[in-house]
Amino acid sequence: MSSIRQLVFNPNLWQTVQATIFAKVHHEGFAFGLARPCRRNNGLAYVVECLLELEDADYEHRSGGGVTTTVTFSNRINQIAVDAAQQGLIPVHLHSHPAGVENFSGYDDRHEQILHHWLQGQAQPLLISLVQAVGSEPRARLWLQGRTEELMVRSGLQVFSSKSSAYLPALARQNIFGEGLRKAASQLQVAIVGVGGIGMLVAEQLARAGFTRFVLVDHDKVELSNLNRLPNLSQSDLGRLKVKAAKNLIQKASRAVGTNAQIHALPYDIYTAPKRVKNKVSQCDIILALTDNELSRISCLDMALDAGAEFLMAGVDIRLNTEGHIIGLFAEVSGAEQGRYCPLCTGRLDSGQASLDARQYVGGEVWDKAQTDGYIKGIPDPSVMSLNSIAAGAVVLEIQRRVAGLGVRDLWQLDYQTGELVTYDNIENHVNEECLVCNS
């Protein structure tokens, strides 16, 4: 597997970058940020965590042919760049070009080389730079030991790249999502934690959408009651590990569309899994929490936010009245973004229930009493493939939307029984300063 280095922005921060460097028509613009290196299973991601926007007074010269900042501002950001090395952060210089000048100029080369050399002398070994011409995709590079290396650029799951990806005839009818979907599908790694009724459907759909890099985590085995909602399985699969069944399903779907999937099937409970397994998950670009308990979902959320990975979770709920009749058929998908939207803060995840979930690993009086009082159900929740399919399709469609740059949906919830639909798109700053996960 080839190593991939990528520069990653969350979508809101990327919008700020665009607004900053293209603030004035026919004038180049500049912005400065800091990125945190995060290891990936297939390389490194430099996740931009903060951005310093310029005031007009910070520019010494600004025109369609170039941009220069004042000595005061340059000294300020250079000192920030040096100090950042102590926290393991990397300075990021971003600027625009006029239409038609799509790559770094000779002036960019000389200026960045001098700056990189100076930073090395100040114990800051790395420098990242990005340039974007009007109407073109961004280009980025990493300065390391006097040399440059091209970086793939992402805004969320949307991949910007000057390189075209392989055309696959079997996927021609999803080309409406653009070239970016083929690029993302061939390069991004997806962790699916929980490959049961929703997870296995998601795995197959992603494989048939061209995704090829998977990490599957689930310690359960196939039971008779699973056969009403797990695709392509029969009674001969009883007792088989679900991750092995999911791996086989992905391989078949992958071969069908002309790709070659690379799959790590890990038969572990994510909460008690060894460090190497958790590292494998946290080093993916997308972490999907498709389990049936709050503890494992919060564990996945914690890993995703800590590693700068995309996070999505999904679930279904068949609600009954006191007589046992169906009153609700819910399917839900929710995401997360550091410092902006957190499903724990908004109540989509329940830390209290997660505490109860944790008791199953140690037993004791609290666990026994919770079972007695009905907080922990003694029988499994009702589940059917039809409702799971709605949730699974919504997860995959949300990934496809994000990859295509169609926006970010923080929450999608459908009650199929009543027809009520609830959606939240790009909720602004919906976090709790005391949250132990998103603000830890």
> Residue 329 in contact with residue 318, Cβ under 8 Å?
yes
In this prediction, residues 397-411 reach a mean pLDDT of 92
Residue 160, domain member (yes or no): no
Model confidence at 53, pLDDT cuts 50, 70, 90, reads confident
Inter-residue contact 46 to 5 (CB < 8 Å): yes
Note whether residue 90 is domain-resident: yes
Q: What is the pLDDT of residue 401?
A: 93
Task: Please say if the pLDDT value at position 286 is more than 90.
Answer: yes
* Residue 375 pLDDT: 53
Would you state the pLDDT for residue 163? 67
- The count of structural domains within the chain is 2
Give the model's pLDDT for residue 307.
Answer: 92
Looking at the structure, tell me whether residues 143 and 176 fall in a common domain.
Answer: no
Q: How confident is the model at residue 431 (pLDDT cuts 50, 70, 90)?
A: low
The predicted pLDDT at position 121 comes to 96
Residue 21's CATH number:
3.40.140.10
Could you tell me if 284 and 327 lie in one domain?
A: yes
pLDDT higher than 90, residue 33: yes
pLDDT at residue 365 above 60? yes
CA distance 410 to 431: 13
414 contacts 408 by C-beta, under 8 angstroms = no
Q: What is the pLDDT of residue 366?
A: 57
Is 297 found in the same domain as 352? Answer: yes
Question: Of 9-13, 24-28, 122-126, 351-355, which has the strongest mean pLDDT?
Answer: 122-126
Is residue 316's pLDDT more than 70? yes
Q: Which two tokens stand for residue 387?
A: 């409702």
Instruction: Please write the tens of the pLDDT for every residue from 144-175.
Output: 999 999 999 999 999 997 666 777 888 888 88
Least confident of 31-40, 125-134, 354-363, 396-405: 354-363
Residue 440 lies in a domain: no
Examine the fold and report which residue of 155, 185, 202 is the final residue of a domain before the chain moves on.
Answer: 155
Q: How far apart are CA 198 and CA 203, in angstroms?
A: 9
Q: CA 230 to CA 195: how far, in whole Å?
A: 9
With respect to residue 433, please indicate whether it lies within any of the assigned structural domains: no
The CATH number of residue 304's host domain is 3.40.50.720
Secondary structure (DSSP) of 227-249: GGTSTT--GGGTT-BHHHHHHHH
Banded pLDDT at 357 (limits 50, 70, 90): confident
pLDDT, residue 427, reads 61
Q: Residues 408-413: what's their mean pLDDT?
A: 91
User: Does residue 164 sit within a domain?
Assistant: no
Of 155, 180, 207, the position where a domain reaches its end is: 155
Please report whether residue 432 resides in a domain: no
Kind of pairing between the strands at 213-217 and 189-193: parallel
- Judge if 238 and 272 occupy the same domain: yes
Residue 9 confidence (pLDDT): 95
pLDDT tens profile 373-383: 655 555 567 78
Least confident of 283-287, 324-328, 336-340, 393-397: 336-340
Where are the extended beta strands (E) located within 82-212? 90-97, 126-133, 139-144, 147-155, 158-160, 189-193
Cβ atoms of 36 and 308 within 8 Å: the answer is: yes
Tokens of 94: 């971003």
Residue that is last in its domain, among 127, 155, 183: 155
Do 185 and 252 lie in one domain? The reply is: yes
Confidence of residue 2 (pLDDT cuts 50, 70, 90): low
On whether both 295 and 368 belong to a single domain, the answer is yes
**More confident: 414 or 345:** 414
Question: Per-residue pLDDT for 370 more than 70?
Answer: no
pLDDT surpasses 70 at 426: no
Q: How far is CA 367 from CA 294, 351, 380, 434, in A?
A: 15, 16, 17, 27
What is the greatest pairwise CA distance in the chain? 76
Distance of CA 200 to the CA centre of its chain: 19
Domain membership flag for residue 431: no
184 & 92 share domain: no
Q: What is the extent of the structural domain holding 410?
A: 169-425
Residues 172-217: tens digit of each pLDDT: 888 888 888 888 888 899 999 999 999 999 999 999 999 999 999 9
**Average pLDDT for residues 358-364, to the nearest whole number?**
71
Please write down the long-range contacts of 412-421, taking CB distance under 8 Å and 24 or more positions apart: 412/332, 412/333, 412/334, 413/330, 413/331, 413/332, 413/333, 414/330, 414/331, 414/332, 414/390, 415/328, 415/329, 415/330, 416/329, 416/330, 416/331, 416/387, 416/390, 417/326, 417/327, 417/328, 417/329, 418/328
Can you name the residues that pair with 90 across neighbouring β-strands? 35
